[in-house]
Amino acid sequence: MLASKLAGILLQVYLTVLPPVLGQLSADELAPLLSGLAERPRDADLEARVPLMTDDPTVAPLVDLQVFAPPVVPEGGSHCAVELSKHSFGVGSYGAPAVVPYIPPAADGCGEIGKWAAISLNLSSYSIGTQYDRLSAIYLSNTEIWRHSSAEPTRTGTIWNTVKDVTHFTPLFAQKGDLMMDFSNIIAPELLLDGVFDVVLTATFYAATASVPTPQTADLIVPLSNLSPTLPNFFTIDNDLGAVTNISLPEDSIEAFVEIFCSGNSAEEFWYLNTPDDFVPYFPASTGVIGKGPFREVQVLVDGKLAGVVWPYPVIYTGGITPSNWRPLASYGAYDAPTYWIDITPFLPTLLDGNASHSVTLRVLGQGKEPTINSNWFVSGSIHVRRGSSRTTGRMTRYEVPDLQSRTLGAATAGNETVWTQVDVSRELSIESELVTSEGTRTVTFTQSLRYTNEARYADEGWVQWVNQSTIGTTSSTHGGVTKLRDAFEYPLAVFSNYSLYTAEFGSYGSDIHQTHTRALQPPLGATYRSIHSVQHAQGQIGMDNWPGLRHAINGTGTTDQLFAYVDERGETYFRDIMAKNDGWVRDKVWGTLRDRNPPVPRNQIFGPEGGPGFRRMIAWDTGS
Ligand SMILES: *[C@@H]1O[C@H](CO)[C@@H](O)[C@H](O)[C@H]1NC(C)=O
Ligand SMILES: *[C@@H]1O[C@H](CO)[C@@H](O)[C@H](O)[C@H]1NC(C)=O
Ligand SMILES: *[C@@H]1O[C@H](CO)[C@@H](O)[C@H](O)[C@H]1NC(C)=O
Ligand SMILES: *[C@@H]1O[C@H](CO)[C@@H](O)[C@H](O)[C@H]1NC(C)=O
Ligand SMILES: *[C@@H]1O[C@H](CO)[C@@H](O)[C@H](O)[C@H]1NC(C)=O
Ligand SMILES: *[C@@H]1O[C@H](CO)[C@@H](O)[C@H](O)[C@H]1NC(C)=O
Ligand SMILES: *[C@@H]1O[C@H](CO)[C@@H](O)[C@H](O)[C@H]1NC(C)=O
């Protein structure tokens, strides 16, 4: 085919133009992840079968999950669990978060306030009925601490639990505040949406021990959010101006790191599948191809000057592309979206220049004509500040932030039968300052090196699409020669989707998705070095009814498997080999030192090689006729 021939030629050009990203995961870093996976235990999987069907009300709820590495917490020390929030998100919950007061735990066993070894949150959700995937976010004192999306529930009930390390938010947990949970849900009987989300959020505080002492965390956390007492606190961004927070840091600040939460929503949910504007006219409008290209950059600006960028990992939610792919095994990040760090310490000379207020802007740039993005992105963050004992001074000695390098190519075969596009982007960024602080005089550096390529092929007027995307980068910072932050990542994604029969009566659609998340992260505060390697493959198909206007899924199949490996600096490991098929679990094997902190799904949920019966809905019941 012409397109693939051209692709071969242009790929060579691209590779000669772009140098490799330095500081990527080394062979030594990858080895323990891969060898750990190879050392899977050999005991046989139990293959019990229980009659769990979507429309069968007689069985226990389905356990859904997103694989995660459990937080590393001290063994043997004291700890206490505190229920922070309990709420049912049903009628009227859209844009109406549950807000409850937060008080630091004072009970015996909780450990000294603010001196904990670790804090973990356990988010436990239950839903029965029919519902889309809904986005939720948890904030403490107007600072986002968790971005989560729901499972799509079943009519027999679905539960999902996720545990997350939030130790780096210790300064917020050490003070009174408001805990806000947003889980904007819509109950609409006319749309058959009746799934309410029942949520319990628990925090566990671990006292410091000899082997796990109090880690270094910020002294002060400054939210980058809209600060509303009643509305979801993330910024809703649909233009190129982004969202500004005015801040004022204490003059003795010696380090400042920004943590970012970001997710595309609505016409930006599948931003990586969006089409470059120049090629949108190659498709009939009825195909619903979305423009503004597949590349997105989330930017942090200090007083209007670019300070760092995030090239986000594409989290696929449980209703994403083909919903039957993600039940019961969700895509990585669905229940706990990855966050990203940017070191703005080199900007301290500016931020501490004596002016009362400075601005930090969070914005998202895409590839369209202004605005460069569609509507919309949800973005928020926080600045984690460490303080010294005297005024910090200094000057920026290097600011090398050349423009983003990008280009878009494309071609079509005769009659636009097949269309091909390719987007290549790279960015280099290097910022350095000399700081005079109460801890001494030092050079602080922040560098980023990032590469992106997205190749899309289309057939059948755009109803069939193949996308192969690669996002590779290294973000790092040093303070006085010591590495403070390192984030070396690689996020390959291949999506094949076929919507050829989408508009047919009793039509169908399906997809085949390969997604990998490989990331070595040394966060600047609160935790040690860890590396993660997740490889997921999902394929599935949905059959639809013939309702005018609304398209309901009436049946479906889905098979998803995943290999997951986690290794950290303390020698803790977590490995998982898991597979789900047709609404049921096929296998789940977990090993490594952290196994018991996030064990396999209960054995009576394992269906065996054929998986579950698949998603099936009685049409008569659905239409209410
Ligand atoms: C999280 O909470 C759920 C529901 O209360 C519980 O079943 C589960 O064991 C908890 N997980 C951890 C790791 O505490
Ligand atoms: C930030 O400060 C600028 C300049 O003083 C002001 O115009 C703007 O309204 C402030 N923005 C917010 C969100 O407070
Ligand atoms: C305050 O900001 C203004 C404009 O951004 C700058 O010209 C001035 O030097 C700053 N003031 C101090 C005390 O540094
Ligand atoms: C293919 O699409 C381009 C862009 O809209 C258009 O100019 C051209 O006429 C189309 N070719 C055919 C054969 O439809
Ligand atoms: C796209 O990804 C798939 C699955 O990883 C792979 O088999 C295929 O060769 C890739 N295609 C291109 C053009 O890179
Ligand atoms: C897309 O799906 C249709 C209907 O099942 C099928 O006929 C067609 O071959 C598929 N296209 C591709 C490229 O797989
Ligand atoms: C889904 O239902 C349609 C319409 O009844 C039927 O043609 C199709 O074979 C079904 N597919 C599956 C996977 O059961």
The per-residue pLDDT for range 381-410, each reduced to its tens digit, is 999 999 999 999 999 999 999 999 999 999
Q: Residue 190 pLDDT > 80, yes or no?
A: no
For the chain, give the percent of residues with pLDDT over 90.
77
Find out whether 478 and 445 touch, Cβ atoms under 8 Å: yes
Can you give the residue ranges of every domain in the chain?
Answer: 70-214
Q: Residue 214 pLDDT > 80, yes or no?
A: yes
pLDDT at 474: 98
pLDDT at 504: 86
Distance (Å, whole) CA 25 – CA 459: 36
Buried-state track 116-152, b at ≥16 Cβ within 10 A, e below 16 = bbbbbbbbebbbbbbbbbbbbbbbbbbbbbbbbbbbb
* 465 Cα–ligand 5 center, Å: 13
Distance (Å, whole) CA 166 – CA 221: 13
Which ligand is nearest to the Cα of residue 71, counting in written order? 1
> In CATH, what number does 70-214 get?
2.60.120.230
Mean pLDDT value across residues 355-363? 93
3-state secondary structure of 374: coil
Dihedral Cα 181, 184, 185, 188, nearest 10 deg: 140
Cis amide prior to 524 (ω within 30 degrees):
no
For ligand 7, residues with CB inside 6 Å are 506, 543, 554-555, 557
Residue written as token pair 């004596």:
354
* 575 Cα–ligand 1 center, Å: 20
Mean pLDDT value across residues 329-343? 98
Residue nearest to atom 14 of ligand 1 (CA): 122
Which ligand is nearest to the Cα of residue 541, counting in written order? 7
264-312 pLDDT per residue, tens: 999 999 999 999 999 999 999 989 899 999 999 999 999 999 999 999 9
Is the CB of 507 within 6 Å of ligand 6?
no
Distance of CA 1 to the CA centre of its chain: 36
Tokens for 574?
């977590």
User: By 3-state DSSP, what share of the chain in percent is helix, strand and coil, each rounded to 5?
Assistant: 15, 45, 40
Residue 112 burial by CB count (10 A; 0-12/13-18/19+): exposed, middle or buried?
A: exposed
Q: Residue 203 pLDDT > 80, yes or no?
A: yes
Cis amide prior to 355 (ω within 30 degrees):
no
Which ligand is nearest to the Cα of residue 10, counting in written order? 5
Is the CB of 247 within 6 Å of ligand 2?
no
pLDDT at 43: 53
580-611 pLDDT per residue, tens: 998 889 999 999 999 999 999 988 788 878 77
Distance (Å, whole) CA 476 – CA 362: 20
Residues ≥6 apart with Cβ < 8 Å to 316: 326, 331, 333, 334, 513, 515
3-state secondary structure of 157: coil
Residue nearest to atom 2 of ligand 3 (CA): 355
Strands (E), 183-242: 197-206, 220-224, 235-237
pLDDT at 4: 35
406-411 long-range contacts (CB < 8 A, ≥24 apart) are 406/295, 406/367, 408/276, 408/278, 408/293, 408/367, 409/10, 410/276, 410/278, 410/279, 411/2, 411/3, 411/6
Q: Name the average pLDDT for the chain.
A: 90
Which ligand is nearest to the Cα of residue 246, counting in written order? 2
pLDDT at 397: 98
Q: Residue 88 pLDDT > 50, yes or no?
A: yes
pLDDT at 78: 97
3-state secondary structure of 183: coil
pLDDT at 617: 59
Q: Residue 5 pLDDT > 80, yes or no?
A: no
Whose CA is closest to 173, among 227, 128, 111? 111
Is the CB of 246 within 6 Å of ligand 2?
yes
* 498 Cα–ligand 6 center, Å: 6
pLDDT at 154: 84
Q: In DSSP terms, which residues pair with 428 in a beta bridge?
A: 449
HEC per residue, 496-565: EEEEEECCCCCCEEEEEEEEEEEEEEECCCCCCCEEEEEEEEEEEEEEECCCCCCCCEEEEEEEEEEEEE
Residue nearest to atom 14 of ligand 4 (CA): 415
Pairing of the two strands 62-63 and 158-165: parallel
472-482 pLDDT per residue, tens: 999 999 999 99
End-to-end, the C-alpha distance of the chain in Å comes to: 49
135-177 pLDDT per residue, tens: 999 999 999 999 999 998 888 889 999 999 999 999 999 999 9
pLDDT at 549: 59
404-442 pLDDT per residue, tens: 999 999 999 999 999 999 999 999 999 999 999 999 999
Confidence at 552, pLDDT banded by 50, 70, 90: confident
Confidence at 551, pLDDT banded by 50, 70, 90: low
